[in-house]
Structures are given as structure tokens and as C-alpha cells.
Amino acid sequence: MKEKSPPQIWTVGTLTYTGAGLAALFLWLLWGDFAWTIKQRAVDPVAQLLMKRHGSSDLLIGLLVGSLPNALGMLLGPVIGVWSDRHRGRWGRRIPFLLVPTPFAAVAMAGVAFSPAMGRWLDGFLGSSSPGLNACVLLVFASSWLVFEALTTVSNTVFGALINDVVPAELLGRFFGMFRAVGLLAGIVFNVFLMGQAETYATAIFVGLAIVYAVGFSMMCWKVREGSYPEPPPPPPHPWAGVAMYIRECYGSPYYIRVFLAMALAGLALGPVNSFSVLYAKQLGVSMQTYGYYQAFFFSCSIVLAYGLGWLADRFHPLRLSMVAIGVYGVAMVVGGFFIHDARSFGVFFVLHGVLSGVYFTAAASLGQRLFPKARFAQFASAAGILNGVFFIIMPATLGLFLDWSGHQYRYSFLLAGFIAAFALAALWNVHRHFLRLGGPQHYTAPES
């Protein structure tokens, strides 16, 4: 009788998985991602509609929904990233930074949910000294939003690092393909069943999202286990020495500067359309129900493509796949900027934006894991986030100010996306040249400095 071959074993660090163990790991990580992503997919468009209903300008929307999260990422990301890389504890070096902020973030999201009611109370309490009902609502909203974004910034900084620590490197592309598929499924659920009700039931939607996020993320943290890590290097003698070390390690290498710049420009290229698409749709007479169906459609397309793109990223490398994706995206957005003139043409190019940006996100999802030093992943990812944050602080607010000045000509967001994509493609090509000198897809070793 032919002997059965031993079951395949996967390892990452001190962790060892059988097929069943790997399936369980993926299940819980993907469940946490569903809770995270449905919050992320839903919060921004509902927040924009709520703010617009209470008289907000495009500039304020750009500042709160676009610039603020990135400013917080710049301030908190490096601190949390380095702290997490060096932390050693019973629950690992990542899980505590994911679990502790979760319930507080859910409470802050509830504050966003009830900002109209609390704003009305504040307006009545201030009486003749009140700046007005809308101003009071926006003040309460902004305060809760600030706390919410600060806490979710902490989780966002560490989530990718957890994946880097527990998922085998040879499966990262395919895992992120599934990761994207689950996130897109969350987007479909929201856009099909809730987007059409966003203006009427914003409070109930926010409360429901808070509950799903708190329960789902907490369950993931409870079920996923980290391995053992080598002892970290000794801490610097004082904080300023730590800052100098961070700058020297992350920004002392021209290669990593190129990587950070390319990733930031590519992410920035996808931002203009995302920032104001819901307002452009309303301007052209697209109902929120139809807008939700558009998003559900391109999310469905992206789900079909996700695993295959993950396989291609593992096979050919995410850097090469990212270059193709951002190039095609840029051409499509320039064409859209010139040809969108009504609800139907908006739908065509908005779907193209969604599908092509989804291709880029899936292609590039494992890019940091493949290019940064593994032992200091969160540190280098936070350094990339600083440059990304600078761009995203400037772009949404500047674009919002320009759109106010232009009389809300939202088609310019498509043209700007295509323009930035051209610069992103050039930057990624430059990284690729140096990537080949460092060993290329088969023999690449991340430089330590």
C-alpha cells in the first residue's frame, strides 16, 4: 500500500501551521477584517452626507474626513509602530494595541451617531450664545470624529504588522487577495442594503457599525495567537535619541525614500475621486440607492478578481503588478475627467474607478510586507505612512477649497487622479530598477539601512 505523504506544514517565525491551522488563522483574520472594513467602507460616505446636511463646506469635509485621519497617522503611527515592534508581553507584540482601543473607538463612533441629537441639545443649552444649530451639530460631530480617528489610527498602524507576523510569506499575496474579497463583500453589504438609507437613518447605521466593529475586532484578537520574538535591541537612552534613530533607520536610505514616495503617490492618486464621488453623484442627480448599487457592482467585480490578483502578486511580485494597475487607472481617470457629463457617464467612469483602484489595492496589498525589513515592519510602515499622511493632509483640503472656488466642479477630481497616477507610475518604475539590483523577485533582501 502506498504510504500517505505527510501533511504540508507552513512556518512563520516560531509559528507552525497545518492546513487546518492555517484555515483557522485565515478565518479569524478575515472576520476581523470584515468588521474593520465595513466600518471603513460605510463611515466616510455617511459622515459626508451628515455633514453636508448640516451646512458643511467641501473644505471642512476634506479636512475632517480626509486630512485629519492622515495627520493623526503621522503623529501616532511612528510612536505606535516602534512601540509595538519592541513590545513583548503575554498577548504578543501586536494584539494589545488592537484590543485595547476597540471598545473606546466604538463609543466614539456612537458619539458621531448621536451628534445631531447632542448638537440640538447644545444649541438649546447655549441659548442666545449658540452659534446656530448646524454649527453645534458639526462641533459635536468633529469632537467625536477626532477621538474615533485617533483610536482607529492606532489599530490601523498595527493590523498590517500582525498579518506580517502570523501569515507565511509565500502566501501573503493570496491572503491579501482573500482579505480584499472579504473587505469588498463588506462594501457590497453596506451599499446594497444601507447606502440608500444613509441620509435618513445615519444614526442607526453608525450605532450598528459600532457594535459590529467592537464585537468582530475583539473576537479576532481573542482567537489569533502570536509566536515568540527575539528580544528587541536596547531602547535609546532618551526620547530624542529614539527620534534620531527612527529618522536615521527609516529615512537614511535613498532606496526606502523611493519606496515611501512611490507608495504614497499611488495611494494619493486614488484619493481625489474617493473624497468627493458621493457629492458628485448627488450633483448629477444620481440617487444614493443607485450610487450604492454602483459600488456594489464594482466591489463584486473586484471580489471575482481578488484571489487571482493575489496569485499573480505571489507569482510575479506585487511591485510589478502595481505598476500595471496604476498606469491603466491613470489613463481611465483622465478620459473620465473629460467625458463625464451626466448621470450615466458618471456611472461608467465611477465603476471603472472602483474596479481599477481595487485592482491596485489588491496588487499592492502585500507590497510593504515584501519590501520592508520583517523585524521592524511596523516601524517602516509608519515611516511610509508619514509621507502618505503629508500628501493626504494637503490634497483633500486643497481639493475641497478648489472645488468650493470652482463652483463644485467635481469632474476635476477625476483629472487630478489621472495626473497624480502618472507621477506614481514613474516613481514605482524607479523603485523597480533598484529592486532588481537588490536581487529581484527571487533573491531580494530588504536593506537594513
Give the pLDDT band of residue 1 (cuts 50, 70, 90).
very low
Which residue range(s) make up the domain with 83? 12-443
In a domain, 215, yes or no: yes
| Structural domains counted in the chain | 1
Tens digits of residue pLDDT in 298-309: 878 888 888 888
Considering the domain boundaries, does residue 438 fall inside one? yes
Q: Which amino acid is at 269?
A: A
Write the CATH number for 166: 1.20.1250.20
pTM of the model: 0.68
Nearest to 67 by CA among 15, 129, 4, 145: 145
pLDDT confidence of residue 217: 85
Is 2 domain-assigned? no
Query: Which pLDDT score, from 0 to 100, does residue 238 have?
Result: 62
Residue 7 resides in a domain:
no
Percent of the chain with pLDDT over 70: 94
Residue type, 187: G
pLDDT in the model for residue 329: 96
Give residue-wise pLDDT tens across range 153-199.
Answer: 888 788 888 888 888 878 888 887 887 777 777 777 776 776 677 66
* Within a domain: 289: yes
Q: How far apart, in whole angstroms, are the C-alpha atoms of residue 159 and residue 357?
A: 21
42 inside domain: yes
Indicate whether 4 belongs to any domain: no
pLDDT digits (tens, 9 = 90+) for 192-227: 776 677 667 778 888 888 888 888 888 888 888 888
* Residue with the larger pLDDT of the pair 390 and 129: 129
Mean pLDDT, residues 74-91 taken together: 83
Q: Does residue 94 belong to any structural domain of this protein?
A: yes
